[in-house]
Structure formats: C-alpha cells, structure tokens
Structure 1
Amino acid sequence: MTEEISQVLEDAKKRTNRNRVWRNLGVLVGVTLIVLVVGRYFRTDHTAITYTTDAVTRGDLTVTITATGSLRPVNQVEVGTEVSGTIESVNADFNDRITAGQILAELDTDQLEAGFRQSSAALALAEARVVEAQATLTETSNRLRRVQDLIAKKLSSQEELDRATAAAARAEAGLAVAQAEVAQAQARQDSDRRALEKAIIRSPIDGIVLERRVEPGQTVAAALQTPVLFRLAEDLGHMELHIDVDEADVGLVAIGQPAVFSVDAYPDRTFPAKIEEVRFAPEVVAGVVTYKTILAVDNESLLLRPGMTATAEITVTRLQDVVLVPNTALRFKPPAATEEEESSGGGGGLVGMFLRPPTSTTKPVTRPDADGGSQVWLLEDSRPKAVTVQTGPTDGIVTQIIDGDLAPGTPVVVDAVRTGSQ
C-alpha cells in the first residue's frame, strides 16, 4: 500500500514538471511574437526617401582639355667646333644678344697656321712640277716631229721613231701626274684654310646666348664628336609650348584652337596660345600613349623662359545658349522599388507575415518607356520618373541636352537619402 502511494505521488510530480515546461515554452513563444509585432510596428511606415533636385539651365558651355608640357624657343641652335685645339678667348656670355657672324670664341691657331703654310708650299712645289713636265712634253714632242721628218726622207730608223714616240707619251703622262698633284695640293691647302677659318667660332643666327659651356684655356677635341660650346635661341619673343595630349583627347584637338596656360613662376596669371601642329607620331611612357602638340606663344614681354613647365587648357568646344543639365542628374540612380523588396521577403502564413520586410511609405519609381540615350529623373507625385534624353558635349560639371523633354528651370533629381526610424 505504501509503495502504491509513493508511485502515485511520483507520477503526479512528473506530470507537474512536464506542465511547467510546456507553460514556460508557451510564455517564451508569446514573448517572441510580441517582440516581432512591436518591432514590425516601429519599422513600418517610419522610413522615407528624401530627394534632392537641381534645375535645368540655359547658358554657354565651354569644353576644355588639360595637358602639361614645357616652353621652348622656336629655333634653337647648338654651336660647336669642328677642329680641336685650345680655347684662346671667349667673346660671348649668358644672355648676350648676338648677330649672325659675330665671333663667339677663338681657338689657338699656331698649329693650324703651320699646317696651312705647309700645304701652301706643297701646292707651290706641285705647280713647279707642272711647269717642268710641260717643258719635258714640249721637248719630246719636237723630237718626235724631227724623227718623223727624217723617217719620211728615209734618213732615220724605225727604232729611233719608237724611242721618240715613247718619250713623248711618257712626257704627256708626266704632265698629267703633275697636274693631279697640283689638284691634290690645292685641296689640302683649302682644307687647312677652312680649318684655320673654323678656329674662329661665329654665330650662325641672330639671337641670344642661352648657355655657354666653354672657358678660355680649355682644350676641346673634335675627333669623335663635335663638342657643344654655346646654345643659342633665335628669338625669345616668339616661343613654342610642347605639350603631351592623351590619346583619349587627341581626337578633339585641331590646328587653330585657342588655349591658355600657366607657369609656376606666375601662378596668378595665364598666357594665351594657339595650336599650330598636332603630330601623328605617338610617344609611349610607362604604357601611356600621348601625342606631341605644338602651341605658338607670344612672348614679347620676355616673361617666359625656355624650359618652364606649363599647364595648358585647350578650348575644344564652345557653345552658346544651350540647354544644360547637371552631370549629377545623369549619374543618379533611384533606390529599388518597395514591391521588389516585398517579393524577396519571407513566405506566407503566420511566420511569413511577421518575417516579411515592412511596407515603406515610399511610392515605387516609374521606369523609362524608351530605350537608348541617357536618363534623368523628375519628381511626379513625389516619386521619380525617368526621362530619356540625348546628350552632347560636357565640361565635367554640366552636359548639353540635344534632344529631350526638358525645359530650362525643370527640377531634376540629383540625390536620394533615406530618413526616419529604422
């Protein structure tokens, strides 16, 4: 009897524990559902999207491209020496203005003058040999005629005639050799005279001395290559700006286009220029392809100097009184539609109802009907509506609208920001 009572009490205790577990589990499920409902309530209808707009305008559009380069003289000449020797005097210095034919420097000419005198003496000797050979030819020619007369009278032998003929031929050849030696000696003398003249280094152009690389007493050797002594610029009043135009922009530049440029020496000033040449030969540096473009520069004030680094802006397009839209409007993309978010949420039933994303107050966007072209977005009943437009040139800030239903003053969407509780 006692055992039966104990068994009944133990079974009652187990049932009580099971009931407590189920009751606790029911409470946990209820609390979870309450949390989900409250969270859904606070997330529902409390988020919105605020759109920022900017107006379409009408005005002028100037499109430019930027490139860097350096200033150079229109005509630059490096003056050297073709003869070796010691610099005896230097007659020009940095920044000196010079004229064509002006003496820049002189070499010691003692050895060159000795060489010229020697070649002159050789020429005189060769000319004397010509006179001697001419006399010999006259003598042998006269002898040949006398022998021929004697042969005609049968008073001389054939052998004598042969000797006279050979002597006359040798004399004629000797005269030709002597005359060739005169020409050779004359050429040597001309070379020595030219070398003597080149010992005086003269300017080939009117201009200014940019650089002097020689000092009096310095020895120069022209055996392997001509040493450069001076660097001259013909006219610094007119210069050239050599810039490197990127391959993506070279199709926009053309001869005659205006440009302005600046240099570090005058940061608050710009200088005018004009394109006068666009070269076809590419230049590749570190895998970047550029094309050398030459701009004509007026430098009458002589503020600009050769070698200055310049940044140029070339005006490639200039439009007046056109419709313009901000580039931010062309880049704008609206947020995804609410219906798309709901379709990607949880499934049906009770769990799906609580796990689906909450409904937003934002209305769905209107997608464009037309294909092709660019898109800008207008606000219609507080929701974005796409408009297809055809665009033209751009300066990086605004773009020309060639075709599209956009009037000046029309607000276009440029940005969207979510606001409210999350």
Structure 2
Amino acid sequence: MTDATTTPPEASALPDWLQGDPRPLWKRPGLWLVVGLLVLALGGGVVWMRQRAAQQAPRYITEPLVRGDLALTVSADGTLEPTRSVNIGSELSGTVARVLVDVNDRVRKGQVMVELDSSKFQDQVRLSQGALDSARASVQQAQATAKEARVALQRLQEVGRLSGGKVPAATDLDAAQAALDRAVAAEAAARATVVQAEATLRTNRTNLTKAAIRSPIDGVVLTRSVEPGNAVAASLQAVTLFTVAEDLSHMKLSVNVDEADVGQIQVGQKAQFTVSAWPNRKYPAVITRVAYGSTITDNVVTYTTDLEVANPDLTLRPGMTATATIAATEHKNVLLVPRSALNFSPTAAAKSGSGSKSVVSMLIPRPPSSGTRSAKTDTRNGGTRQIWVLVDGQPKAVDVQLGLSNGRLTEVSGPGLQPGMAVITEQQSGTAP
C-alpha cells in the first residue's frame, strides 16, 4: 500500500490575527489601525522636523529707522562768578570809626561804606592851610622887597642922569641892580612855595574825603572783613575790606574745556548747566569767550571758556560749582540708527537663507551657528558704511552715508532709506532642544 505524501499549505504573509478574518483585506479594521498609526508617526516626524528647523533658524533683533534731532555735546566743569566784582580797600592808614554796610546789602555808586577816624586828616588839612597862608605872605613880602629895590635903582639912575654921570659911582649902580635881581628871584621862589602849599593842601583835603570809603559801583556786598576799631595799614598791596559784585541778575560761568574738545567750541554756542543746589533744574547759557591761553593742571591741558548766564530769580550764587553741557553741533530731522547697527554683519548661513532646506538636510545634524559677527567700523563723519535691514524675514544690505554721531546714535543718509525700516542690530543663532 502506497502512502500518499501530504503537501503543507503555503504560509501566509499576513499576521495570524488577520488570517482568521474571512472578510476582504480592505474591510478588515486591524489593517486600517496599522495605517493610521503609520500616518500619525509620519505627521509627528514632519512636525518635529519643522520645529527643529525653526529653532535652528537665526533670529534677528531689530530697531526701527527713526527720524529725529542729534546733538554733539561737550561737558565741562566750572565755577559761577559775577560778571564784574571789585575788591574795595583803603589808600590811607588809620583806625576804622564806623562800618555802614554788611554782607548782602545793596549799595549805590558813591555810597559811604566805611569811615576812618578823620581827626588826623583834618589836622593835616589845617597844617597845609597854614603853610599856604604863610607862603602867600612870603610872596607879598618878596613883592615889597622887589618894589623897594626897583625904586632905589631908578633913583640912582635919575641922579646919574642929572649929574651927567658924575654920581653915583658905578659900583653903587651895580649893587642896586643886584639887589633888585635878588628881590625878583625871592618873589618867584615865594610864588613857587605857594604852588607847593596849594598842592599839599589839595592832597590833604583829598585824603580827608578818602577817610570815608565809598562804593565805586552799584552792586551787592559779597564779603566784609572789617570791624569798627580795626587798624588799617596802607601798603603797596591794599587790604581788602569789602568785595562788591555788580548786578547778580547776570553772571558768568567759567569752565575748563579739555584740549580734545576745544576745537568744537565757538563763541555763540548754546549750553545748559546744573548746580548741586538745584540738581533737577537746567540753566541756559551762551558762550561769550574761548581763551587762547591754556591752563595745565596735573598734566591735563584745558582752556578757560566763559558763558553768559541769566539769573533773574537770584537762585545762582557766586562760587557755585556747575557742570555744563555745550551743544557743539546739532542736526535736526535726520535719520538715526543705533551704533550697534553699524557694527552688525550677518553670518554666511543667514545670508544664504534657511527657508530652502529640504527635509533630508534638516534631518542631518549641523554644528551650531557662531552667532553675530562684529566688524570694526569707522563711524567718522562722511564715511560710507553698510547697514542690514530685515526684508521678508531675510537680511538685506543697504549702503549709507554717515553723518554726526554721539557714540550711541549715528546720522545716516542714502537712497531708499525710509523711517520705520527694520534695521538689524543683533543676530541670535537657533539651537535645537
């Protein structure tokens, strides 16, 4: 009996849980479950790759191109002073009898401020008056002597004429002539003595008037260094009794400008300054003088610059220390960019753009971007530089002409520039999580 060989059925490629289902393949729910899982996995992969690409794309920090005013300023410190001040002393030595004014008093020109003891000066006037009277009497005496000598000479000359020259003797005529000459000379000397006595009297009278020390100007008394009973000793350098400042409603601010900034300072430029007494108030001023002579302090060369200051409310006082800000140059209604925009240059990857990456390229790991690359920039006036603006998400280079710069903002100009343009100041590289 021959045994028949049984052929095993062909193995199916479907899973066991699908082989037992007699329904057609496309009607089986298990198959659709697998397809759904594959679609979800593929969608999640696409979302993940897009997020990764967005994280790796460079991000730009921008500031709008604005229009405004730009001023180049110079700062300097100095001291407030009166426009004119006078130190009042005494030409005479003496004792102070009365002091008639005090600090902060307003005085008028010619007003008596101090009186010295005048008894000594009055005595000197009397002495000089007596000397003058004596000199005048001497003149009269000399005149009488000269008249007498002249008459005696005339008599002798008449006798000689009548006698035909026999009498008097020639020696007598010569003696009479000499006596007349001496009398005339004595008269001239007496008159000169009168002139000297008159001058001495005028001097003593002037000294008497100077015993009352008067103000030479209208102003305000700033300092007083004299009291009744003080002895005043006149010398080559007069002792200062008072300091009087002229009208304090107008003052002068003297500041020291550094040699590096003096070339930008000119007469007529406007300035503002502050003082410690009023820190929140800015006072206006105008430059009136820039000194050519320099001052060297601790090896620092400065130039004294005077500014005219209005002080109608008298809040400013002489001697106050002030910090002035001088508007050396000012440009109005110009386009301005931050200085960082002039130092910015995007990376090569950012210039080529990241929007054209394929899915495969996004899946390939790349090293992180190096971030912002700075370039040394010459921001001097008149230079041509390049700024980058953001257009449709991509950086675009724009050539600009540089103008005034204060170190923070720089004036720019050029074709195509419009206020509101997004100027790139910084680039940040994206990083994958």
TM range (shorter): 0.7 to 0.9
Kindly indicate whether residue 240 of structure 2 is the aligned counterpart of residue 228 of structure 1: yes
Kindly indicate whether the alpha-carbon contact (under 8 Å) linking 1:365 and 1:384 is maintained by their aligned counterparts in 2.
no
Partner of residue 383 from structure 2, selected from 350, 363, 373? 373
Residues 93 and 233 of structure 2 are in contact (CA less than 8 Å); yes or no, is this contact kept in structure 1? yes
SS in 1 for 2:126: helix
Name the aligned partner's letter for residue 409 of structure 1: G
Distance 1:187 1:109 in 2: 20
Alignment-derived partner of residue 97 in structure 1: 106
Measure, in 2, the Cα distance between the counterparts of 1:403 and 1:156: 122
Tell whether 2:292 aligns with 1:280: yes
Aligned-partner SS, 1:305: coil
Q: Percent identity?
A: 43
**Tell me, which stretches of 5 or more residues in structure 1 are unaligned?**
1-45, 339-357
State the partner residue of 1:244. Answer: 256
Letter in 2 for 1:149: E
Q: Equivalent of 2:198, from 183, 186, 191?
A: 186
Query: 2:394 & 2:371 partners in 1: Cα distance?
Result: 6
Q: Please list the CA deviations of residues 326-373 of structure 1 after superposition, one character each: whole Å capped at 9, or x if unmatched.
A: 12233x2659989xxxxxxxxxxxxxxxxxxx97656998999xxx92
TM-score by length of 2: 0.73
SS in 1 for 2:255: strand
Aligned AA (1:401)? V
What SS class does the counterpart of residue 272 from structure 2 fall into? Answer: strand
Matched with 2:66 is 57
Task: Name the stretch that deviates more: 405-414 or 300-309.
Answer: 405-414
Query: What residue in structure 1 maps to residue 116 of structure 2?
Result: 107
Cα distance in 2, alignment partners of residues 195 and 296 from structure 1: 39
Q: Cα 1:362–1:102, aligned 2, differ >3 Å: closer, same or farther?
A: closer
**What's the CA shift for 1:417?**
6.0
Is 1:260–2:269 an aligned residue pair? no
SS state at 2:404 partner: strand
Cα distance change, pair 144–418 in 1 and its aligned pair in 2 (3 A): farther
SS at match of 2:306: strand
Counterpart residue number, 2:177: 165
CA contact (8 A) 2:368 2:429 kept: no
Pair 1:177-2:186 in alignment:
no
Report the equivalent of 2:406.
395
Which segment is superposed worse, 308-317 or 91-100? 308-317
1:227-273 deviation line (CA, Å, top 9, x unaligned): 11111112111112222222222232333322222111111111222
How many residues align structurally?
A: 353
Return the alpha-carbon distance in structure 2 between the equivalents of residues 311 and 391 of structure 1: 30
The Cα of 1:377 is off from its aligned counterpart by 4.1
- Computed over aligned residues only, the root mean square deviation of the Cα atoms, in angstroms, reads 3.2
Larger C-alpha radius of gyration, 1 or 2? Answer: 2
Q: Is the 8 A contact 2:347 2:371 kept in 1?
A: no
TM-fit CA distance, 1:130: 0.9
Secondary structure of 1:267's counterpart equals: strand
Question: Is this contact kept in 1: 2:103–2:222, CA < 8 A?
Answer: yes
What is the CA–CA distance in structure 2 between the aligned matches of 1:208 and 1:362, rounded to whole Å?
Answer: 70
Partner residue, 1:136: 145
Shift of 1:63: 2.8
Change (3 A) 1:419 1:131: farther
Find the aligned partners of 2:383 and 2:235 in 1 and give their Cα distance. 69
Structure 1 residue 198 corresponds to structure 2 residue 210: yes
Unaligned runs of 5+ in 2: 1-54, 350-365, 377-381
Q: 1: CA distance between counterparts of 2:372 and 2:301?
A: 47
Q: Given the two structures, how large is their TM-score scaled by the length of structure 1?
A: 0.74
CA contact (8 A) 1:367 1:385 kept: no
8 A Cα contact 1:81 1:201, kept in partner: yes
Alignment of 1:26-41 (within 5 A): none
Choose the corresponding residue for 1:216, options 202, 215, 228.
Answer: 228
Instruction: Map Cα deviations across residues 5-44 of structure 1 (whole Å, 9 max, x no partner).
Output: xxxxxxxxxxxxxxxxxxxxxxxxxxxxxxxxxxxxxxxx
Alignment of 1:311-350 (within 5 A): 311-330=323-342, 332=343
